[in-house]
Amino acid sequence: MKKISVLFLGLAVAAFSCNKSAEKGSASSGQPSGRIVYVNTDTLLNNYEYYKDVVKEFENKRFSLENELQRRGQSFQNEVALFQRRIQAGGMTQEQAQTTQLQLQKKEQDIMLYRDNAANNLGVEQAKKTDELLNNIQEYLKNYNKSDSYDMVIGYSKGGGVLYAKEDLDITQEVLKGLNEEYSKNKGKIKADSTSKK
């Protein structure tokens, strides 16, 4: 999940440009056109339900993967211990011992390959979710700015690229409320789509 946080906090440095109309003197909200506002990305991460669900989903997947690897590793260790006991007891011929040893080496390689593939797949899936998260936010901000009130919405985080911003430029709570409402409305649809793709 650190990748998602790091990429998401990249919003603090990257600016999101909305369609602007330089000729427009003021917007329907009474704010002048060309105004730059910000979203506190730390607050957004801590309170955006979609992000929290994604974090929980990947924690569960990681936990399942660790359990599966532990189960496979324990099973392998038991086979190795049995093999060693049989050799010590003289219950195997030289040829049987070599064959069993090759089989055990293959099993060990399979476990390592499974671990690497599963970790890679998890990383790819995590990158997709990060991209989806950023796209959701950008699309929401485009719709949010339909009245063309702002030329730019930047991401702000403590210790990020923006060192100071006036509080009246902060639209975090409005954006967060809208994102959570949109996610809540589409949550059932998203689950249905993801289960139908499997």
- Residue boundaries of the structural domains of the chain: 2-197
- Estimate to the nearest angstrom the gap between the alpha carbon of 70 and the chain centroid: 24
Q: What is the CA radius of gyration of the chain?
A: 26
Ranges under pLDDT 50 in the chain: 2-29, 31-33, 192, 195, 198
pTM equals: 0.69
pLDDT at 193 (0 to 100): 53
pLDDT in tens, 10-59: 443 333 333 333 334 444 445 444 589 999 999 998 999 999 999 999 99
Q: Tell me the CATH number for domain 2-197.
A: 3.30.910.20
**Residue 165 backbone phi and psi in degrees, to 5:** -150, 135
d(CA 79, CA 91): 15
| Alpha-helix runs per DSSP H in 20-146 | 41-47, 49-88, 94-144
d(CA 97, CA 92): 6
